Amino acid sequence: MRKVHGMAGGRRVTGLLELLMDLAESRSLRPLASARYDASEVPSDGRMPAVMAYIHENLTGKLTVPEAARRAGLSPNAFCRYFKRQTRRTFTNLVNELRVGEATRLLLETPDSVTDVCFASGFGNLAHFHQEFRKRTRTSPLGYRRSRNL
């Protein structure tokens, strides 16, 4: 990328295309940020769209199993079994996964501090944020940002 940046005119366009071709053919790809959850991956019986909408609308705020269960028209215990059967994850696990995905995006796209990113992505506790982030990315939030800055 630095080489392309130093080029001028048509050579710069050619250099960019070569860089894109190298990236497309690379066998050592790794995602920059975790993908957002795609509800189309989950078979739906009509309850999941309401639950997923609730999660996405409130991802950075307070999310509760009782409210998600209410939206699905189930008791909290029945909802937990239903949700795990549909997504192969617990409700909390999926929410934390999505919040870490949001945190990775914020770390790459904003100059905000790690503490600000923690709270902006919906975590209410810095220690828990670090634990979940490291579990899912195998690095600290600051290490993640530093390793991806060019």
- Write out pLDDT tens, residues 109-147: 999 999 999 999 999 999 999 999 999 999 999 999 888
pLDDT band at 34 (very low <50, low <70, confident <90, very high): low
Q: Is the pLDDT at 61 greater than 60, yes or no?
A: yes
- State how far the Cα of 41 lies from the Cα of 48, in Å rounded to an integer: 11
Task: Report the 10 Å Cβ neighbour count for 97.
Answer: 18
Dihedral sign for Cα atoms in the order 16, 18, 19, 25: positive
82 vs 13, residue with greater confidence = 82
Range 39-148 classified under CATH 1.10.4010.10: no
- State how far the Cα of 99 lies from the Cα of 97, in Å rounded to an integer: 5
- Residues 41-63 as b or e (16 or more Cβ within 10 Å = b): ebeeeebbeebbebbeeebeeeb
Q: What is the pTM of this model?
A: 0.70
- State how far the Cα of 143 lies from the Cα of 48, in Å rounded to an integer: 35
Q: Is the pLDDT at 93 greater than 60, yes or no?
A: yes
Domain locations in the chain? 1-30, 39-148
